[in-house]
Amino acid sequence: MHDRQPTPPLFTQVDISAGPMPGAPGGNGAEPENTRLLREILTAQDRQNELLAELVTQLSAAQKQRNQELGQWKAANPSLAQNCRVAAETLSRVQTEFLNTLTDEVNSNAEVLLDGEFMLNEFVDRFGPRLAHLNGVLQVLAQLSGPQSS
């Protein structure tokens, strides 16, 4: 007949007592491997936090300098700054109308745009560059704008 080999158990017992871990030095005062690794991770995170704090300091200093220079320009050119505000407000209304036209075009041609790559490319060519340039001009004018007149 067959000599049937005993099958090993599917589950084993795990000791979760507070004794020393296998492979860890036992009782000689040396710190376990996991604790050492956690300390190294903590040290690396502390260093990363220091670097992030330095980065924030550098970025905020540059932003403060840009804001100060922009404020000086506005103070030196008050009428031009006011003209930029008026132009930005006017272009904002133009942008609103342009977006109305764009959304009407999309809504009335949704099926064609979904089905045809040619029509989608035509749409992007027609509206994309104009929208991008208009947004860029508006952003510059808004930054250079003086305080709103009351």
Q: Which residues make Cβ contacts (< 8 Å) with residue 133, sequence separation at least 6?
A: none
pLDDT on residue 150: 47
69 plus 132 within the same structural domain: no
Query: Which residue ranges in the chain fall short of pLDDT 50?
Result: 27, 150
Q: Are residues 52 and 120 in the same domain?
A: no
Domain that residue 139 falls in: 78-150
Nearest Cα neighbor of 148 from 86, 87, 92 is 86
DSSP-derived secondary structure letter, 22: T
Structure tokens at 12: 């084993």
Residues 6+ apart with CB under 8 A from 94: 134
pLDDT at residue 140 in the model: 93
User: Phi and psi of 98, rounded to 5°?
Assistant: -60, -45
- The verdict on 100 and 138 lying in the same domain is yes
In-domain check, residue 4: no
User: CA angle 55-61-67, nearest 5°?
Assistant: 135
Q: Are both 104 and 138 inside the same structural domain?
A: yes
The domain total for the chain is 2
What angle in degrees, to the nearest 10, is found between the helix axes of 117-144 and 78-108?
160
pTM, to two decimals: 0.57
